[in-house]
Amino acid sequence: MSDRPTETEAVPSKRATTPASRRWLLLAIASTVIATVFLGYALFAMFQGVNPDKRSPVALSEAAMGDQLVLAIGRTPGGQAEWANYVVLMRYMQDRIGRPIKVRYIADRESASGIFENGEAVGGFLCTRSYLLLEKKGVVRAIAVPVTSGACTETAMVFVRADSAFHTFEDLKGGSVAISSKTSVSGAAYLYWLADQKGLTVDTFFSTIDVSPTQEDGLRKLSEGSVDAAVGCSTEARLYPPGTFRAVATSPEYALPPFVVSTSMDQETVDALLEALMSFDAHASLPADSVLDGFEPVTSADYDFSRQLLKYIPAGDSE
């Protein structure tokens, strides 16, 4: 997966005419080669997004060394703009564990289950719903969670524009709301959970339910004024200038979408992947505008509230 720099060697065009000049010429060539190799390595590390001081690989036993690991990216906590930064992370992990990694991007999150169930991928980042469904089947387990904008948890919210006349959730009766895919745990499921807590029915409370491909699309429609409200995560709303939105409902905190591994993966490789995630220096390796700060260990219990929300995915939309 890694792009390796090409090495060029300068060949002198004339022979030295004396032993002394030949020695000086050889010394100059040696110095040039050393400088070129050092510069090439520095550029390679920079473009790979890897901090050279943290490249000591984790020592894996011969049994743990094998074919390349296929890691999937089905969700990039922090937003779609973070995609390139997660590729930098994967390159770092490859160097850290000393084993080739192939990245598979899952454009359709609904296809994540098949990719993991048939063994095409053995780890990676999944949306919360895909993780919970695969965990229930015993296919994957969560080992780490990203830290974005200083937090590894987020909340689901019902947003209105800051200049809107709506001040409570109840004020939205008869209005329009944008949600992401009805299979989204922090999108549709949160809205249905919230309505149930209030003794309301979503489909009759709102006059229009605008289903958007992503939460970003829903928030964009809200910012443009084409809907009265939108359901989104706190992390997505941070991408807008302060004062753009106002929340009229906020969920309890829950963990961000996790990094998962196959339950069939040997523990030594699991430990090596976790160590690589924990040692990744995001601030030194990523652009200053990245919201990815690093990673923390996570357990299944950190997704208890998400499991509650999973029960509220509208009938006919769950697997």
Mean pLDDT, the chain cut into blocks of 10 residues (319 residues total)? 36 38 44 40 34 38 63 83 91 96 81 86 92 94 94 93 96 95 80 95 95 88 96 84 94 93 97 98 95 95 93 61
C-alpha to C-alpha distance for 157 and 155, rounded to whole angstroms = 6
**CATH node for 156-251:** 3.40.190.10
Q: What local confidence, expressed as pLDDT, does residue 224 receive?
A: 95
**CATH node for 58-152+257-307:** 3.40.190.10
181: helix, strand or coil: coil
What token pair was written down for 189? 């499921």
pTM: 0.71
Q: What local confidence, expressed as pLDDT, does residue 110 receive?
A: 63
Q: Which residues contact 110 (CB under 8 A, 6 or more apart)?
A: 130, 183
**Where along the chain do the CATH 3.40.190.10 domains lie?**
58-152+257-307, 156-251
CA distances from 291 to 49, 71, 83, 302 (A): 15, 22, 11, 21
Give yes or no for a contact between 134 and 303, defined as CB atoms under 8 angstroms apart.
Answer: no
Place of tokens 């019902």: 158
